[in-house]
Amino acid sequence: MKNSIGRDIPENAIKDRKLYQGEFAMNSSIVKTTTKVKPVNPSDSKLLDNIEEAIVKCGLKDGMTISFHHHFREGDYILNMVVDIIASLGIKNLTLASSSLASIHKSLVKHIKSGVITKISTSGLRGELAEEISNGLMDEPVIIRSHGGRARAIEAGDVKIDVAFLGAPSSDEYGNASGSRGVANCGSLGYAKMDALYADKVIIITDFLVEFPNVPASISQTNVDYVVKIDKIGDPAGIASGATRYTKNPKELLIAEYASKVIVESGYFKEGFSFQTGTGGATLAVSRFLKTEMLNASIKASFALGGITKPMVEMHEEGLIKHIFDVQGFDLSAVESIDKNPSHHEIDSSFYANPHNKGCIANKLDVVVLSALEIDTDFNVNVMTGSDGVLRGASGGHSDTAACAKLTIIVSPLIRGRIPCVVDCVNTVITPGESIDVLVTEIGIAINPKRVDLIEKFKHVNVPVYTIEELKKKVDCIVGVPEKIQYDDKVIALVEYRDGSIIDVVRKVKL
Amino acid sequence: MERLRRTMMFVPGNNPGMLRDACLYGADSLMFDLEDAVAISEKDAARFLVYNALKTIDYGDTEIVVRINALDNPFGRADIEAVVRAGVDVIRLPKTETKDDILAVEAVIEEVERKIGREVGSTKMMAAVESAIGVINAYSIATSSKRLIGIALGAEDYVTNLKTKRYADGMELMGARSQIVIAARAAGIYALDTVYSNVDNMEGFIREVELIKQLGFDGKSVINPKQIKPVHEIYSPTAQEIKKSLDICRASSEAKKQGLGVISLNGKMIDKPIIERAERLVQLAIAVGLYKEDIKNEK
């Protein structure tokens, strides 16, 4: 069956799910799920000796759902450690509901093969694990969710977490956990906050036990069942890099300069505007150009959102951004800032982008700048599968912020290496074209035809404007049209839109 | 207005990505290098690549120059044959020492033009002077062929030949630079300055561009896209300069109308070279898009 953007979703993948029908098509009232709570009495201790004891005390059994957060990114030691222990206890058939998965989690492959993990939901998949899954490792398709979509799924009970294993850079023995004040700090614990609120059992795993009370806390003692201290929760270098990538690539800088010009001329660039930029080379560089424009025009932003990086922190500290809402910090600047700047706020992923609460902060976004692996002539964007059809990306907050922001800009080169980035039809749709307003490339921009107002506005701006079909033609002239990837019928991943409907599927690549 | 040649960006001829993207950054000319930037083992591959780039990529209005290998090595002739066939705008000779160097290359170019039916003379040339003897012969080189559009200084080889090195203040190049500008002006062709190789030192780069503009050069060779904008900014007339020049042009045309020989503006006498400079500046302002009205409409 085809959904409203024409993606063919096989019947056996749909089951009781709904097909995507438009950005805000599903907005009927929902009932939030509840959590099982085992009361903790004054004489009870939460501090346990090891993870194994915590698993046993939580009553983890075959068929349950476990969860992890991805704030430690490629530096995460927790997930592999915990799943190894679970496997050694002989527990099988688990659903892994991680907020995201990285290359470091390749040891999951053996646990999937042995039946310890049989279902996965995640925002991202990379490296060996992603390749194996793309090659058909799992019987059940992986569910790809956006960050806002995961928060929605948890609140709606679509994902019912039995045990959440939450790494924390610091915690006291009673479970007040923080992303700061430890050794391997990650700043915001925005994704983990949802697990802590909605999982039946919550285990805080830390390598830095501090004196009670560890406040302010990202995760409150009232939501925590057990605390375990281990030697190392992760590799600080993989968790937060010292310096954000400061691109010198002239093409990325050119794209960033155009994007900044688009923002300035869009009509949304005025006192008190709000924005979010991604973490790619070009998207990150947009902040640099935007900063100059803000200084020149004496304009201050009311807030910045995201994935927080050094340029945003600098602008905040210089008074150009009044508030930062931080669901995830990307570098040491962000980690340090959240601890010291009172207007740098930690938010959970529901506050960030859940479409089914009473108003997420993304709803208040004026401008978002996002990247793309591929964009097609309908403006649909793929950030999940590579040009070989293999999973190698993350849904992240892409579709969330794209749907919400008043101006959604995609920055992408026309070509990467010999791979076209503007195509007829993307491999995988993560964000529907109706959410995208402007594509910015190194030769100029293309405006979504539905934005008649912007098309009119940019007639008088010194930026080359093309139709997206014209850009596609230019790409074809340089690299030609690649042969289509050959897929099997087997569905290896379902792409869930933020509202819970199915926007696309990823099929197994024919070997 | 004659063609602007404020910036000529050097692009290694063996880098496909750079050949493809080179025209994105707004340089007035691009110079695809088959000579020093390309290792001996890659000479044929680079020539093939540049040939195909010229044939397939749309470089728009950007002037395309190819620096060929000298005729005294095995690659020079094949380079000329390939790029003339591909329709290159300008062939740049490296290490030019005498006018005979130019004439020898010109003969090969003409031979290829005739063979493929390309209009004889349509392939332009420019010379790079990179030695003491080249500087001494600058005028005879600059006047050696009608195809010649410009003469450039190649400083690295030149300072080595001079038994010195490059200094921050550029004093060691003063003689050569002046000689080249004078030769170019006498021959009525463009004078183009050498590269500034420390791409991270923008301050030093800007200082050097200001110096060569003062000396009279038409433009600078650049090796990184980020060097383009500063050159164009330095070579762009300021709003004040444009206004002053327009006033001079208006006063001049007014005086002509009234049949006055002596022109004065705000109490100052204006003579012919001042008017010429003002007209040139207005033309430049139009060419770089800083002034919209055609000067002729002002008269």
When CB atoms are compared, the residue of A254, A417, A478 closest to B25 is A254
pLDDT digits (tens, 9 = 90+) for A342-396: 999 999 999 999 999 999 999 999 999 999 999 999 999 999 999 999 999 999 9
**Mean pLDDT, range A393-406, rounded to an integer:** 97
Residue A404 is which amino acid?
C
**Mean pLDDT, range A102-111, rounded to an integer:** 97
Task: Report yes or no: B59 and B23 within 8 Å, Cβ to Cβ.
Answer: yes
Does A192 reside within a domain? yes
Dist. CA A107–CA A111, nearest whole Å: 7
Q: Return averaged pLDDT per consecutive 10 residues of chain B, 299 residues in all.
A: 90 95 95 96 97 93 96 95 98 96 98 97 97 98 98 96 94 97 97 95 97 97 96 93 91 85 81 89 85 56
Domain identity same for A265 and A230: no
Percent of chain A with pLDDT over 90: 90
Task: Report yes or no: A498 and A400 within 8 Å, Cβ to Cβ.
Answer: yes
Does A343 reside within a domain? yes
Mutate to test the interface with B, among A248, A257, A463 (most CBs of B within 10 A): A248
Task: Report yes or no: B14 and B46 within 8 Å, Cβ to Cβ.
Answer: yes
Does A499 reside within a domain? no
Domain identity same for A318 and A462: yes
Contact A478 B57 (CB under 8 A): yes
**How many A-B residue pairs are in contact by the CB < 8 A criterion?**
22
Q: How high is the mean pLDDT of chain A? A: 95
Does A230 reside within a domain? yes
pLDDT digits (tens, 9 = 90+) for A118-154: 999 999 999 999 999 999 999 999 999 999 999 999 9
- CA distance readout (Å), A435 to A409, A410, A448, A475, B186: 10, 10, 9, 23, 61
Domain identity same for A151 and A276: no
Domain identity same for A270 and A414: yes
The pLDDT score that the predictor gives to residue B298 is 45
Dist. CA B12–CA B174, nearest whole Å: 28
- pLDDT higher at A58 or B293: A58
Residue B121 is which amino acid?
G
Domain identity same for A172 and A202: yes
Tokens for A461?
């701006």
Dist. CA B46–CA A352, nearest whole Å: 51
Domain identity same for A369 and A448: yes
Domain identity same for A118 and A161: yes
Residue A165 sits in a domain whose CATH number is 3.40.1080.10
CA B155 remoteness from chain centre: 15
Mutate to test the interface with A, among B15, B25, B292 (most CBs of A within 10 A): B25
ipTM of the complex: 0.80
The pLDDT score that the predictor gives to residue A459 is 93
Tokens for A351?
């506050």
Q: How many angstroms separate the CA of residue B24 from the nearest CA in chain A?
A: 7
Dist. CA A62–CA A52, nearest whole Å: 15
Domain identity same for A310 and A434: yes
Domain identity same for A408 and A298: yes
- DSSP-derived letter for residue B25 is G
Asked if the model's pLDDT at residue A281 lies above 90, the reply is no
Residues from chain B that touch A478, judged by Cβ atoms under 8 A, are 20, 56-57
Task: Report yes or no: B88 and B122 within 8 Å, Cβ to Cβ.
Answer: no
Domain identity same for A255 and A229: no
The pLDDT score that the predictor gives to residue A245 is 67
Return the half-sphere exposure (C-beta side, CA atoms, 13 A cut-off) of residue B269. 5
Domain span at residue A182 reads 44-234
Kindly tell me the sign of the dihedral angle through the C-alpha atoms of A415, A416, A418, A422: negative
Q: Which of A173, A203, A234 is the last residue of a domain?
A: A234
Domain identity same for A272 and A417: yes
**Chain B residue with minimum CA distance to A417:** B17
Least confident of A272-281, A308-317, B80-89, B253-262: B253-262
Does A313 reside within a domain? yes
The pLDDT score that the predictor gives to residue A242 is 58
Asked if the model's pLDDT at residue A239 lies above 50, the reply is yes
Contact A250 B58 (CB under 8 A): no
- pLDDT higher at B282 or A24: A24
Count how many domains chain A has. 2
Q: What is the DSSP string of A384-444?
A: SB-TTS-B-EE-TTHHHHHHH-SEEEEE--SEETTEESEESS-SS-SB-GGG--EEE-SS-
Domain identity same for A163 and A65: yes
Does A13 reside within a domain? no
